[in-house]
Amino acid sequence: MSPTTERPGAVPDESAGRDAAERSWALLGLECVQCGALHPVTDLPRGCPACDSAGRNSNVFCRYAETAPLAERLPYRGIPDSGQGPTPLLPWEPNVYVKNEAVHRTGSHKDRFAALVTAHAQAAGYQAVAVGSSGNAGLAVAAHAATAGLRCTVAAFSWLPEATRRLFTDLGADLRTFDDDRDRIRVVRDLADDPETLTVSNITDPVVGSHPLGIEGYKPIAWEIAEQVPGDVDHVVVPSSRGDLAWGIYLGFRDLHQVSGRPVPRLHLVEPFPRLSAVLGGAAVTDRFPGDHGRLYSIAGDSTTVQAHRAVALSGGTAIVVPDATADAYYRSLCRRGHVWERSSTTVFAALTSLRENGTIRDGSVTVLVATSHFFKGL
């Protein structure tokens, strides 16, 4: 053994000799969520170019060959197993299940997104990734970038908890913090012009959502639910900010419908104050919706997206408002029973109560609540 190859405390390097993931043959292009235009598979940090130039920004999503089996309906195959799923489905009450996404490597569903975007960055020859985030997405992308040997810039808010700041440092991320959201997004936008850096989060105003190849990583949540729940699922309840997760889960159920004819469940998106609810009531999706998110940091923000609206409209779902005070009561009740989900995740339990009371979820229908993140994120 060469004396230069080992050092005290060294750990195996997962990224050494790691092959780039292979693009799925079935991926035909990127389709606009809003106007339906089909674009070549390339990075579109401003979303659909046609909608962008019209001032009505919209994300794009992957279109696959209609004959493609589920296994080919992810943009890459051979993605290294980084523990991004499957996750457990917990029986909760009769006909109610909890999909526990908190068990991922960095404690949230964002690991599924991070696995896809870092695989894409490697395959496309990028040297670095950049993400605007002060929590779950940033930690997931930083961890997966570290495994893949990519540099990672995280643009966060200055109010970032000290414990989270230390985690970013420990993961080797280049953490930059800002008081103002426009300054934060400007830095990510500048990095989008760097040919070595893949930008994976929003740089537009209005926002479109995150990188579409990463959102594909949420589709297996639907595929796993379909395998784990006996029979069809009627309702899925999802915490939501810009609708990345809900849109990805919708696309997953849409794939299942195309492949096997299974019905798409109704998707109910939970938010801390009316944003998507206002759009469903007639407001423009491009409007700003100021409101108090309290401690529901993971679903904060004053905007919604075309993809969030489409996930609800195409599945026949709804938007449900759960304010911080209500979420807090559920959070405390769940903690007293030993359940350790982040406050934003516990909104789905409060939403279930509301959806039953307003008659949307009836006795006998089957519901899955998506618990997205571990309560350690509340540090």
Stretch touching Zn ion by CB under 5 A, among 2-10, 24-32, 279-287, 295-303: 24-32
Least distance from Zn ion to the Cβ atom of residue 161, Å: 38
Which of 43/328 has CB closer to Zn ion? 43
- Minimum separation from the CB atom of position 319 to Zn ion (A): 23
Q: Which of 21, 51, 70, 278 binds Zn ion (CB under 5 A)?
A: 51
Establish if 44 lies at the interface with Zn ion (CB under 5 A).
no
* Of 16-24, 30-38, 192-200, 315-323: span binding Zn ion (CB under 5 A): 30-38
35 binds Zn ion (CB under 5 A): yes
In contact, 370 and 101? CB cutoff 8 Å: yes
Q: 256 is written with which tokens?
A: 């299942």
In whole angstroms, how close is the CB of 242 to Zn ion at the nearest point?
17
Q: Min. distance of Cβ 128 from Zn ion in angstroms?
A: 28
* 97 or 247: CB nearest Zn ion: 247
Number of residues that bind Zn ion (CB under 5 A): 7
Taking the least distance from each CB to Zn ion, the nearer of 61 and 126 is: 61
**Closest distance between Zn ion and the C-beta of residue 243, in Å?**
16
Segment 85-114, which members bind Zn ion (CB under 5 A)? none
Tell me whether residue 48 or residue 119 sits nearer to Zn ion (CB atom).
Answer: 48
308 binds Zn ion (CB under 5 A): no
- Asked whether position 285 contacts Zn ion by CB under 5 A, the answer is no
Stretch that binds Zn ion, among 2-10, 31-39, 178-186, 227-235 (CB under 5 A): 31-39
SS in 3 state form for the chain?
CCCCCCCCCCCCCCCCCCCCCEECCCEEEEEECCCCCEECCCCCCCCCHHHHHCCCCCCEEEEECCCCCHHHCCCEECCCCCCCCCCCEEEEECCEEEEEHHHCCCCECHHHHHHHHHHHHHHCCCCEEEEECCCHHHHHHHHHHHHHCCEEEEEEECCCCHHHHHHHHHCCCEEEEECCHHHHHHHHHHHHCCCCEEECCCCCCCCCCCCHHHHHHHHHHHHHHHHHCCCCCCEEEEECCCCHHHHHHHHHHHHHHHHHCCCCCEEEEEECCCCHHHHHCCCCCCCCCCCCCCCCHHHCCCCCCHHHHHHHHHHCCEEEECCHHHHHHHHHHHHHCCCCECHHHHHHHHHHHHHHHCCCCCCCCCEEEEECEEHHHHC
Among 20, 28, 50, 90, binds Zn ion (CB under 5 A): 50
User: Minimum CB separation from Zn ion for residue 306, in Å?
Assistant: 9
Calculate ∠ Cα 160-109-195, nearest 5°: 70
205, two tokens: 């105003």
Nearer to Zn ion, 51 or 123 (CB): 51
Q: Which is nearer to Zn ion, 35 or 103 (CB)?
A: 35
* Residue selected from 32, 233, 280, 366 as contacting Zn ion according to rule CB under 5 A: 32
Q: Which CB atom, from 37 or from 314, has the smaller least distance to Zn ion? A: 37
Residue 48 binds to Zn ion (criterion: CB under 5 A): yes
**Which positions lie near Zn ion, rule CB under 5 A?**
32, 34-35, 37, 48, 50-51
